[in-house]
Amino acid sequence: MAYDLLIKNGRVVDGSGGPSFYADVAVQNGKIVGVGKFTESADRTIDADGRVVAPGFIDHHTHYDPQALWDPLCNYTVQNGNTTVVVGQCGQTIAPARPGDQEWYLKFFADAEAIPLSSLQNGVNFTWGSIAEYLDALGQRRGVNVGALVGHSGVRRYVMGEAASERAEATAEEIESMKQLVREGMLAGALGFSTTPKDRDDPAGVAAEEERYILGSVLGELGSGLFQVSGGSPEGVYASHRTAKELSRRNGRPAIYNLVSQELNDPDGWKEHLQWLEDSFKEGIRAYGSCISITAGPIFNLRLGLDVPQDEDLISPHIMFAGMPTWDSVMARPTPERIRAFRDSEIRRALSAEAVEGTVAQAAPGTDRRGSPRGFFNRRWDLVEVFMAHQERNRQFEGKSIEQLAQEQGKGIMEAFLDLSLDENLETHFLCVDRNVDVDSQRQILGSPYTVIGTTDGGARPDTMDRYEYSTNLLGYWVREKQVMSLEDAVYRLTGKTALMHELHDRGFIAPGKAADLTIFDADTIASKPREPVDYPPAGANAKHVRRGAIGIDYVIVNGEVLLEDGEHTGALPGQVLRGPLHQG
């Protein structure tokens, strides 16, 4: 027989975690029909000699809910090997939505995820009211596959209106209406239910503790779907763990919560966290901690200021320079005056005394995007890195610390920091690294059977998006360079494990009968390209987002069609809305 696509001579890493092997993969009608050695012809043949053939990666935690409607590729997630994204995280959704109330959902997303409101207003055309209709709208023009969760804040707003953000106790009738919406969403094909811990500042967080468990009972009664629990509680990650654990305990369904990481200010805290997880699983409760395969911390530049929105799941108490008197004075000035101040040698000495030498104390701690105090700048300039340069000539500095830059240039710390920023009109973005740098701890966190790698937040904070590369960084840095796990185990964590948890039974593995979602890459070279700011349609002028592609990824194949070849979109739109097993359509 003639196949639609034949991938020959590749090293197949099949998503199971088992040993890789050399074989051909045959594809027909969007499905894998054989794994072996084939002599038949094909409409297209790809020679994968020297390359890994893996299942397409699954990005299980994104906020592409609105963007997926206008962007079939979901930014650069596909460039990094993802063939599926899951939206509806953290209780945040744009469905169901009542007529006349749609603007609230857009403002909610803009505020919660630091997305330009103009992008949402220009890009989202509400043609739906129900969750089922929203899923249909998602399927209109797809490059990457999309699955969705039912969000607690969304259904609460739909039922309670403005009271959803004000009143903790829902009436019995309101609870029943919300349960019905969760049930309808699951039967329409949603993959689960997302919520937040109590006291987070959104409708789901306002809700009384028992409400999230009552709504979660729908999944237990249906016997399908997973729970996702956000971070952001005043109690920190323990509240997320507790909520996820209780949802899973009561309903017999798996849960994922944010976030397990190795924090520099609490170097052994991750050990206690992994022990929580192990203890839960020993009790028979499936509450997984999400983790990320990148270094992380607050991202800032000197043009926007030092109080830019940050991700409360990631930052710990080492935040920039707010509360230092000279810094507060300079940063309060209009940009032209600020630039002049940064050039003044006397002011530079004062800035350095406060932020480098520490001869002047920092008066107040920095805060996260929800206003919670997060502590003081630690003056670790070996951990302040160039995150994204805005000029091509400066991209060589990305990933280097200011301390390293100063040494290479023969300058002081403050001179190197301010000279680079001034060269780019204060638009250089910097990363204040505060976690996930220790190899031994990351080996245990990333490799734990109780964690799930992901949580890119794709679609959120588009001007500083820092996690597109979680897959390429895992495979290139942590696997190839640091050898914290095998290639086979890493691919399993990116594909098969995630597919099984989300009941995507036809994805995540290379085997006959599975969907032909495939990523072909060079294990010896896979890595991230430098970041660069690009225009962010449909926001209009002055809106930017981060472009970050990958090297070493030759092909991304979705449902049997080549979506990307050598990093370029082929024009194909083979993606689908992936619906859970309860859907009958």
- Between vectors from CA 425 to CA 419 and to CA 430, what angle results, nearest 5°? 65
Cβ atoms of 152 and 70 closer than 8 Å? no
pTM of the shown model: 0.94
Q: Minimal CA–CA distance to 402: which of 389, 423, 417, 390?
A: 417
Q: Minimal CA–CA distance to 62: which of 500, 462, 335, 582?
A: 462
pLDDT at 129: 97
pLDDT in tens, 427-467: 999 998 988 989 999 999 999 999 999 989 999 988 888 78
Q: How far is CA 151 from CA 18, 118, 244, 285, 576, in A?
A: 35, 23, 15, 22, 21
pLDDT at 316: 46
pLDDT at 305: 67
Q: Whole-number mean pLDDT of the chain? A: 93
pLDDT grade, residue 374 (50/70/90)? low
Question: What is the dotted CATH code of the domain comprising 57-296+436-569?
Answer: 3.20.20.140
What's at 234, amino acid-wise?
Answer: P
Q: Is the pLDDT reported for residue 311 higher than 80?
A: no
pLDDT in tens, 118-165: 889 999 999 999 999 999 999 999 999 999 999 999 999 999 999 999
Calpha distance 483→474 (Å, rounded): 10
Can you give the residue ranges of every domain in the chain? Answer: 57-296+436-569, 299-432
Calpha distance 228→12 (Å, rounded): 31
Mean pLDDT over 54-64 rounds to 97
More confident residue, 266 or 210: 210
pLDDT at 253: 98
The string of DSSP codes covering 465-523 is ---TTHHHHIIIIIIIIT-SS-HHHHHHHHTHHHHHHTT-TTSSS-STTSB--EEEE-T
pLDDT grade, residue 363 (50/70/90)? confident
Calpha distance 543→540 (Å, rounded): 6
Sheet order of strands, 150-151 included: 150-151, 192-195, 226-229, 255-258, 287-291, 451-453
Cβ atoms of 299 and 387 closer than 8 Å? yes
